[in-house]
Structure 1
Amino acid sequence: MDAQTFDRFAPFYDQDYRHYDEDLPLLVDLAQECGDPVLELGCGTGRVAMALAAAGCQVTGVDLSPALLAVARRKLADSPFAGQVQLVQDDLRHCTLERQDFAFACCVSNTLMHFTTPESQMDVLRNAHRHLRSGGRLFLALFNPDVRRLTEVNGLMELADRWEDEEAGTSVIKWSVRTVDWAAQLQDTLFIYEELLADGSVRRTACPFTLRFLWQHEAELMLQAAGFQVEAVWGDYECSPYDDQAESLLLLAQK
């Protein structure tokens, strides 16, 4: 895992996830229930951090990618709540922040899964535990491994999305290729962004990355080993019970 892997996403991330906000109401509710300050692990371009700040929270966001953080800083500079968000470039496994009394921490959008060994995932969880106050809570959002779906698309190139980038004056097509190693619990993913430029030429950006997915009880045991008590396991952002048909694996745990 390195910063360059995620820097490649910076020109595309916000438009790629332009319609995704289903997690925000629950995250705002949890953050307001727990109180300030709030820590976001893997804040990227600030999608969640800015929503939490807009709801009145004081937020610290940590991310490894300078390019993603640069996008977040540009957005914050034009926002009325820039003073409520602190952005830090660092590694989630090893960072030591100025304060270690956070009331609520969140790690969403499969961020934990970008750490591709059990040891590195445990490092993230232990470091999150270290930065929370006693009684503080951690919320994890992972995808639920859908065996049938992942088997069906294994090795196939799929048209994932397309949009118009009005600022850049380009049309963008996103392709996705996934391959799965079930024994290692690894999904190798390749996103290819094709930009049709005004002169008719095409610019392609390849963004490969690997995710290590977790099963429910494994995730619960890892949280417990990191010092947490698991409070809830949900299958969606309406807090429905988790089952094998769930799209997500969401866990709420307390220090």
Structure 2
Amino acid sequence: MRKRRSSSKVMEERLSARDEDAAEWRDEPRRLGVERMKQRNLLYERGTRSHYENAEYYDQAYRRRRADIDFYAEMASRFGGPVLELGAGTGRVSRAIAEQGVEILGIDSSEPMLERAERRRKKMRRAARELLEFAHGDLLELRLGRKFPLVIAPFNVFMHLYDREEFQRAMDTVRAHLAPGGVFVFDVLVPDLRALLRDPDRLYSAGTVSLPRRGRRYKYKESFNYDPIAQVLVITLYFQSLEDPEEILTQTIAHRQFFPAELEAILHYEGFEILERYGDFEREPLLDFAESQVLVTRLGATPYSRSRTSQ
């Protein structure tokens, strides 16, 4: 008769096997893990790009968003120019800053957004138009060889940085372009726990919209899929034609979620001190019901990662 193993023996064997598997993962495929992260980030970036390919729809969707424009224009008046804007998009913020007489350079990686930004720049009055310039550039690699007293990244630009390495490279870009004593101002959303906990298999209705150049109205629905390990929320937008239900268009936005205490720690790690922090663009305090984190920061010390490396 076969002897039955005790439950404690079975547990010991399972724990031993688990430890062996963990050791194998640590010793051999760390490279594989890094490659998987890179592939995941690439998928996020490709998916999100679809949201920025239709620049006309972007302008239509956010045409009523004004509070951040006024806030950043005020920052430009306060700290002076020239200003460097990272993630300029169609120039919503850049135009307002140039209109008040401050020189600004807007950088973006999306050609359709930049083309629309340039068309709109040409329609500005001459004095403002000459203060505004747009250029194509990658936030992670940009090196202009110029310094600016103010660098800004409005409208959740940094939520498109999907891991620590990308955040570090973006902060290197900011650091490379800040003049001595210069200020970096940016905003990201406060994570919305309701959105993070939504059923990923369900579509949530968001009303109807008109899409530019299509002449039709569409049912607009969204799905939410949150990766709690990567802290990335993937939102897929579905547009179904009311005239032809077979016509369904999709866009994807992937947003890295930054919890307030976490973001403060990351900035400290990168050598930036927070001068001011708000919960909206009206300068209300960052409280538990706030939607945004609006931060005014300054380079204050050697980044922790560099200081450790040099020891």
For normalisation by structure 2, the TM-score amounts to 0.74
Q: 1:32 to 1:194 in 2, by over 3 A?
A: farther
Q: 1:7 to 1:24 in 2, by over 3 A?
A: closer
- Aligned position for 1:61: 106
Q: Does 1:18 align with 2:18?
A: no
Return 5+ residue gaps in structure 1 as ranges.
none
Matched to 1:189, the amino acid is: I
Inter-partner Cα distance in structure 1 for 2:163 and 2:237: 22
Q: Does 1:92 align with 2:139?
A: yes
Matched to 1:214, the amino acid is: F
Deviations 1:103-122 (A, max 9, x none): 11111211111121121012
Inter-partner Cα distance in structure 1 for 2:221 and 2:170: 30
- Aligned position for 2:272: 228
The farther-off stretch of 16-25 and 151-160 is: 151-160
Deviations 1:18-77 (A, max 9, x none): 111111221111111000011111011111111111122211111111011111111111
- Aligned position for 1:35: 80
Q: Does 1:158 align with 2:219?
A: no
Secondary structure at the aligned position of 2:197 is classed as helix
Q: 1:83 to 1:241 in 2, by over 3 A?
A: same
Deviations 1:71-91 (A, max 9, x none): 111111111122221111111
Matching residue within 211, 214, 221 for 1:175 = 221
1:129–1:227 Cα contact (<8 Å) kept:
no
- Aligned position for 1:219: 263
Inter-partner Cα distance in structure 2 for 1:26 and 1:162: 30
Q: Does 1:238 align with 2:288?
A: no
Deviations 1:104-163 (A, max 9, x none): 111121111112112101211221121010111111110001223432465432233544
Q: 1:144 to 1:154 in 2, by over 3 A?
A: farther
By percentage of residues, which structure has more strand?
A: 1
The farther-off stretch of 6-15 and 208-217 is: 6-15
Return 5+ residue gaps in structure 2 as ranges.
1-44, 300-311
Secondary structure at the aligned position of 1:29 is classed as helix
Q: 1:166 to 1:251 in 2, by over 3 A?
A: closer
Inter-partner Cα distance in structure 2 for 1:120 and 1:40: 18
Inter-partner Cα distance in structure 2 for 1:10 and 1:181: 28
Inter-partner Cα distance in structure 1 for 2:78 and 2:111: 31
Q: 1:171 to 1:223 in 2, by over 3 A?
A: same
1:141–1:248 Cα contact (<8 Å) kept:
yes
Matching residue within 120, 132, 136 for 2:166 = 120
Inter-partner Cα distance in structure 1 for 2:107 and 2:203: 32
- Aligned position for 2:181: 135
Inter-partner Cα distance in structure 2 for 1:187 and 1:166: 27
1:160–1:175 Cα contact (<8 Å) kept:
yes
Secondary structure at the aligned position of 2:171 is classed as helix
Aligned residue pair count: 251
2:198–2:224 Cα contact (<8 Å) kept:
no
Identical pairs, percent: 27
For normalisation by structure 1, the TM-score amounts to 0.89
The farther-off stretch of 151-160 and 215-224 is: 151-160
Q: 1:42 to 1:155 in 2, by over 3 A?
A: farther
Who wins on radius of gyration, i.e. which is larger? 2
Q: 1:164 to 1:246 in 2, by over 3 A?
A: same
Q: 1:217 to 1:175 in 2, by over 3 A?
A: same
By percentage of residues, which structure has more helix?
A: 2
Q: What's the RMSD between the two structures over aligned residues? A: 2.2
